A and B are shown apart, each in its own frame.
Chain A
């Protein structure tokens, strides 16, 4: 029951967080920007519209938006915010990585199904960067495992905050920028097909299907912020970490404002450094030094 409330809260707040980030970024750039509630209006408008799909696509393309939103909802349920009794006690770090893999797999297949070279290009990049992201994501979140021997998410909360935790957070922050399709890795605002990664994957979607995909992306983004907050200092419950979500949101927006998108083939270096930071963090914990 509490789990359901957690789910509803995350789904309801996700577009607001996205809208607030847009507004903040506009203000940082000296523009007035849209109202923070604009994503709700956009979703509502798209939801009412018909969807266009390329001729001859298979059922995978038709089902993909639903899979994406299902993965996002499971992610939201898996966060150990309210209690350990429901899904969050079952889904550990490793299962979470595989879960996000379903989303990536299905969306990339749908992109290749559309016959569009732009979508194929985006699928290729998404899978390439995704394969570098996954080890970094896993290892960054495995800090608790080095002490307790389980891959569950909740032991992360009890870790003392030291150099190892700071490195893990730095690694996770880079992963988060990539997973939420942010500058310097991706650009959500681009209108140039050749530079798109996540936008390119869903290039052929429109109307209510696009609304589902956008909501899924917003939920995922909020879930990543919550995960990031778990790596920062706080108490033994996730509630006491939640203020960090606002900080993560602001930090990502500031990074987006201060930096430019890096060249495509420099992204692997960025993700590689994320992995090295994460591995160093767990390595320090194993060796028991500088934690």
Chain B
């Protein structure tokens, strides 16, 4: 038994356990599994399964299976073992049903994930990323603890069930404070803007199987926590919560995808897309909150179903993309788009599966991303005409933002797939270009790609059970759009038939291979369009958000018109970093100014003492 096999086995076991608990939660509703009463009611421990947790348990089950398969043939043994512990810790969070146990398991999950982020601690910047993550995770955890404690004190019991029972008697101020703390705590863990900055630093430096779980599953556990507080523990919520969540979600979605567009590190780019997708989930949640507080339970159900469905879908395609990126890193030694190219002829298994992931995250039919984004759009469209007018305008803005997000994501994944997988290899890899063989890691991608396609073509497979769960959480089953079951298929029948027709015709009719037209100059790999060039128009158009900086260096040669080497470098100044830097700078400036009073001169200090005495006497008189 090697360490790898133990890790893989434990991950499989976690997956099976999570699947069993998900089924139990879905079929039986709230079941208490384990209970330890304490003398202090707030410290009692309780574990069980609930309706709300079951879709998230299902995510853990599916992703742990995929990650375990991937770990059989790729990655380091120690990572496989850590990943098993991490998956299990997430499972524990989902079955914790009292404040103390929830906080305990939450901390276990956070700390395990810090170890995963720091797995390659010898590489540059990794330790800093891990500490940034630790800091934000711990601050967030304190907010969560404060929020849950407030609610538990009001209910005078720490079990989630009795907190939920007392939720409707909460004083409004307490309710708002608890929700705000939960939004900060869970939102920062989920990567919602503006507390997202740790995510693009921490997720990419972890090993690929860990990144898949971090982005695919752990962010969803944070979303679960937010749902738990908003829809059960501090229910029913107010319109202003909903509007706040919609705004946070829309900003996260649009700005997340913009940052992804200008990033050319495949894994960091995927991490930015996680922020985007969390934004989409939050939009659905926000609409659900608005609708619920206005008594429109039907719309609330539709929006919450959309948010839950997108949580599952994002887990699937993000794991597919991160594991695919892991395979790319494993076989080429790089995740820099500018150095990759033409991978589709080499990674014959990974390339088509990765393309399915790209299409799914972009929201193209018939894959799962389309189904859940479409449902979210439906919720927004219904929301436009049902609330107060000012809220309707916010929803309209969110709708436009979501449309922008979808099309920007398309641009980003055309860049990813077109630059890295199509065309010609860009740099000379010293290793011989070996054709990929089918192994366990390719199988894990097949598994995820099949799930993405299945839930896309037959969305009712997931939406049916999810709407039942939402019905149990909100009290009324949502009414789903009647066209949902047939829509994805009717959109793609003709395009797929057309593609098959073109391929068949291409095989039978004459198609001649000729060199690419480059105005007569030789066709070289370096003349291909690059990722930096590809994102240039959008970098310019959205310059007010991205704030691009560029450095152009022209070296040597006899005259300035015939240089030997031109280096072009561009990078974005991120707004959050900028704000943090300004804050730090002004604090330091303030400190420098206040140093003037500490001159070190004895006479000055005596003068201070005299002045202080005079003031004291004047005040005391």
Contacts and interface: CB of A to CB of B under 8 A. Distances in A.
Interface of A: 50-56, 58-60, 62-71, 73-74, 77, 87, 89-92, 94-95, 97-99, 101-102, 104-105, 108-109, 111-121, 123-125, 127-135, 138-139, 142, 145-151, 193, 203-204, 208-209, 212, 264-265, 268, 275, 279, 282-283, 286-288
Contacts of A55: 513-516
Contact of A125 (B374, B419, B537): B537
28 contacts: A50-B512, A54-B514, A67-B495, A74-B491, A91-B487, A95-B374, A99-B365, A102-B365, A102-B495, A109-B418, A109-B422, A115-B523, A117-B528, A117-B529, A120-B534, A127-B411, A127-B415, A128-B411, A131-B408, A132-B541, A134-B407, A146-B384, A204-B517, A208-B509, A209-B506, A279-B396, A282-B396, A283-B393
Contacts of A142: 381, 384, 399
A113 B422 CA distance: 5
A108 B487 contact: no
Interface in B494-508: 494-503, 505-506
Given A67-B498, A102-B364, A54 B483 contact: no
A64 to B, nearest CB: 8
B514 A53 contact: yes
A287 B363 CA distance: 31
B486 interface: yes
B533 interface: yes
Given A104-B410, A128-B541, A120 B528 contact: yes
Contacts of A147: 385
Contacts of B204: none
Give me the 9 closest cross-chain CB pairs, A-B, nearest first.
Answer: A120-B529, A66-B502, A70-B498, A112-B418, A70-B495, A66-B498, A128-B537, A131-B407, A127-B411
Given A123-B414, A139-B400, A101 B362 contact: yes
A210 B406 CA distance: 28
B400 A50 contact: no
Interface string B300-318: 0000000000000000000
Among A91, A92, A127, A138, the most chain B Cβ lie within 10 Å of the Cβ of: A127
B498 A151 contact: no
B325 to A, nearest CB: 18
B385 A73 contact: no
Contacts, number: 272
B377 interface: yes
B511 A53 contact: yes
Nearest to B506: A62
Contacts of B523: 115
Contacts of B345: 56, 58
A131 B410 CA distance: 8
Given A62-B503, A109-B418, A124 B536 contact: yes
Given A55-B514, A66-B502, 5 more contacts: A105-B362, A108-B414, A116-B517, A148-B385, A208-B509
Interface residues of B, number: 84
B499 A50 contact: no
A63 B499 contact: yes
Contacts of A135: 400-401, 403-404, 407
Nearest to A97: B403
Contact of B529 (A123, A265, A288): A123
B491 A98 contact: yes
A129 B362 CA distance: 16
A265 B540 contact: yes
Contact of B513 (A54, A66, A128): A54
A34 to B, nearest CB: 26
B586 interface: no
A112 B385 contact: no
A118 B519 CA distance: 10
A202 to B, nearest CB: 12
B364 A52 contact: no
A204 to B, nearest CB: 7
Nearest to A216: B498
A213 to B, nearest CB: 10
A268 B506 CA distance: 38
Contacts of B389: 286-288
A54 B518 CA distance: 11
Contacts of B501: 66
A274 B512 CA distance: 43
Interface string B383-401: 0111001001100110111
Among B397, B491, B512, the most chain A Cβ lie within 10 Å of the Cβ of: B491
B423 interface: yes
Given A138-B403, A147-B385, A116 B411 contact: no
A51 B490 contact: no
Contacts of B550: none
Contact of B414 (A127, A132, A283): A127
Nearest to B365: A98
Nearest to A74: B494
A64 B502 CA distance: 8
B490 A128 contact: no
A95 B528 contact: no
Contacts of A275: 400
B489 to A, nearest CB: 9
B417 interface: yes
B538 interface: yes
A113 B420 CA distance: 10
A60 B533 CA distance: 22
A73 B502 contact: no
Interface string B480-492: 0001001100111
B11 interface: no
Contacts of B512: 50-53
B407 A124 contact: no
B370 interface: yes
A265 B403 CA distance: 22
Contacts of A99: 365, 491
A73 B513 contact: no
Contacts of A112: 414, 418-419, 422-423, 528-529, 534
A90 B486 contact: yes
B502 A212 contact: yes
B527 interface: yes
Nearest to A148: B385
B442 to A, nearest CB: 18
Given A116-B516, A124-B536, A138 B400 contact: yes
B238 interface: no
Contacts of B517: 116, 118, 203-204
A211 to B, nearest CB: 11
A290 B540 CA distance: 36
Contacts of A120: 418, 528-529, 533-534
Among B345, B414, B511, B528, the most chain A Cβ lie within 10 Å of the Cβ of: B414
B322 to A, nearest CB: 21
A147 B514 CA distance: 55
A268 B541 contact: yes
Contacts of A125: 537
Contacts of B538: 127-128, 131
Contact of A133 (B407, B498, B537): B407
Contacts of A67: 495-496, 498-499, 502
B374 A98 contact: yes
B279 to A, nearest CB: 15
Contact of A91 (B377, B490, B525): B490
A145 B503 contact: no
Interface in B415-444: 415, 417-419, 422-424
B538 to A, nearest CB: 5
B535 interface: yes
